[in-house]
Amino acid sequence: MAGLWAGIDWSEQLNDVAVVDRAGTVVARARVPETPEGIKELLRLLAGLRSSHRHSRRHVPVAIETGRGLLVRALTDAGQTVVPINPSVVARYRGRLRPTRQKSDKSDAALLAHILRTDGPLHRPLTVHSDQAEAIQVLARAQRRALYGRQYQYNQLRSLLREVHPAALTAWSELPGNLLRGEARAVLAAAPTPSRAARLTKRHLFDLLQQGGRTRMLDDQAARLRDHFRQPVLRQRPAVEEAMGQQILMCLALLDQACRNVDALTEQVQDAFEAHPQAKIYLSFPGCGALTGARLLAELGDDPDRFADARGLRAYAGAAPLTWASGSSSQVSHRRIANKRLKATGHTWAFATLTRSPGCRALYDARREAGDGYAAALRRVFARLLGCLHHCLAHEELYREDIAFPTPAER
Strand, coil or helix: 325: strand
Strand, coil or helix: 53: coil
Sort residue 318 into left (φ over 0), alpha (ψ -120 to 50) or beta.
left
Sign of CA dihedral 222, 227, 230, 234: negative
What pLDDT is stored for residue 175 in this prediction? 93
Mean pLDDT of the region 129-135: 95
Any idea what the Cα angle at residue 376 is, between residues 373 and 379, rounded to 5°? 150
Helix (H) or strand (E) holding 314: helix 310-317
What pLDDT is stored for residue 361 in this prediction? 97
Q: Which of 25-34, 169-178, 223-232, 316-325 has the lowest mean pLDDT?
A: 316-325
- 301-358, pLDDT tens digit by residue? 999 989 999 999 999 999 988 888 887 888 878 888 899 999 999 999 999 999 999 9
- 386-405, pLDDT tens digit by residue? 999 999 999 999 999 999 99
- 89-128, pLDDT tens digit by residue? 998 888 776 666 778 889 999 999 999 999 999 999 998 8
What is the Cα–Cα distance from 157 to 387, expressed in whole angstroms? 43
What is the Cα–Cα distance from 76 to 312, expressed in whole angstroms? 24
**More confident site: 327 or 143:** 143
The angle that helices 290-300 and 238-274 make with each other, rounded to 10 degrees, is 70
C-alpha dihedral (215, 219, 221, 224), degrees to nearest 10: 180
- The alpha-helical segments, DSSP class H, found in 10-130 are 36-47, 70-77, 87-97, 105-119
Of 124, 125, 128, 148, the closest CA to residue 137 belongs to 128
Q: If you average pLDDT over every residue of the chain, what do you get?
A: 93
